[in-house]
Chains A and B, each alone.
Chain A
Amino acid sequence: KQEVTQIPAALSVPEGENLVLNCSFTDSAIYNLQWFRQDPGKGLTSLLLIQSSQREQTSGRLNASLDKSSGRSTLYIAASQPGDSATYLCAVMSTTSGTYKYIFGTGTRLKVLA
């Protein structure tokens, strides 16, 4: 059974810092992995989608990497801003069950201080 863990659970940093959020998963047979952000009381906003054949994806100040063999993904945020404050969720799409659905991590609550 796929399990997805995110470390740290919470993070508070001063504005301008570069930071790394971690996501680990137990079953390396994944189809893809997607990173999301969730603002309080809102739905999820898609940030980056990495297919299983890819190593990384970049969008603006965000870079996500994927190492399937070790069961890890990282989300790198450059030059953090207060507007980046949110909960970040990684979701892994497993293939072992034969269905294509996401298993979500526990999330990292990020606070960027002005």
Chain B
Amino acid sequence: GAVVSQHPSRVICKSGTSVKIECRSLDFQATTMFWYRQFPKQSLMLMATSNEGSKATYEQGVEKDKFLINHASLTLSTLTVTSAHPEDSSFYICSARGTVDQPQHFGDGTRLSIL
């Protein structure tokens, strides 16, 4: 089946550090990629949607200057958390799909802990 690889799986770093998370679709072309944030025992909150070669569309309340998203190719999207602070600590999950009629596939998530 379709595989989405997300890296790294866990990051622990000091406050003020910028952190980049990569999301790759390994065996299909991801026209659209999504970035989610998940708090403990809660469902997924969509942060932004990106189409290859276009600027990301951010959900209301998500700071675009804080969470930089790049979708430079049909197989790679990156999320950079700039100048991370403890309140940015969370579980971040990426997702990708080909066409809108196809299933959406998810990465294994990145646990981000800011000290």
Contact = CB atoms under 8 A, between A and B. Distances in A.
Contacts of B4: 43
Interface in B1-19: 1, 4, 6
Given A31-B100, A46-B103, A101 B46 contact: yes
A93 B102 CA distance: 12
Interface in B25-69: 32, 34, 43-44, 46, 49, 57
Interface stretch (A11-19, A62-70, A72-80, A102-110): A102-110
Given A41-B109, A42-B108, A51 B101 contact: yes
Given A34-B104, A51-B101, A43 B43 contact: no
A22 B109 CA distance: 26
Interface centre among A34, A45, A104 (most CB of B within 10 A): A104
B46 A106 contact: no
Given A43-B93, A106-B43, A49 B103 contact: yes
Interface residues of B, number: 24
Contacts of B93: 43-44
A107 B49 CA distance: 22
Contacts, number: 48
A30 interface: no
B108 A43 contact: yes
B107 A43 contact: yes
B85 interface: no
Interface residues of A, number: 23
B49 A99 contact: yes
A104 B106 CA distance: 14
A44 B108 CA distance: 7
Interface of A: 31-32, 34, 36, 41-46, 49, 51, 89, 91, 93, 99-102, 104-107
23 contacts: A34-B103, A34-B104, A41-B91, A41-B111, A42-B109, A43-B93, A43-B106, A43-B107, A43-B109, A44-B44, A46-B1, A46-B104, A46-B105, A51-B101, A93-B100, A99-B57, A100-B32, A100-B100, A101-B34, A104-B43, A105-B43, A106-B43, A107-B43
